[in-house]
Amino acid sequence: MHIYIYYRVHSDDAETELQIRAMQARLGCRSGVRGYLLKRRDDPLTWMEVYPSVTNGATFERHLQRTVSELDVSMFIDGDRVVERFVGDNAIQT
């Protein structure tokens, strides 16, 4: 499963980015899933966190909620963090 989380930030500044990246680093240590951060090209206040290849979604999401809460990420967010989950077919080797 791949998890995508998008949201708007109050400000596209160094403090906001540092806080989000610190949250991702802590989450990576806890979950073993290294995420990365994207910013929308035509709207720098819209950000997306991407967590590829999550093998245990329930455990990962518990770690995610705990880490977001501990680092008070919501103070940098304008609105809700929207979580999307995607799965894909594995290529069949012939």
Residue 33 is part of which domain span?
Answer: 2-86
* CA torsion through residues 61, 65, 68, 73, sign: positive
* Per-residue model confidence (pLDDT) at position 92: 44
Across residues 56-63, what is the average pLDDT?
A: 96
Domain count, the chain: 1
pLDDT tens for each residue of 13-57? 999 999 999 999 999 999 999 999 999 999 999 999 999 999 999
Say which CATH number the domain at 24 has.
3.30.70.100
Query: Does residue 75 belong to any structural domain of this protein?
Result: yes
Alpha helices in 6-56 (DSSP H): 14-31
How many angstroms separate the CA atoms of 55 and 41, rounded? 30
Query: Does residue 20 belong to any structural domain of this protein?
Result: yes
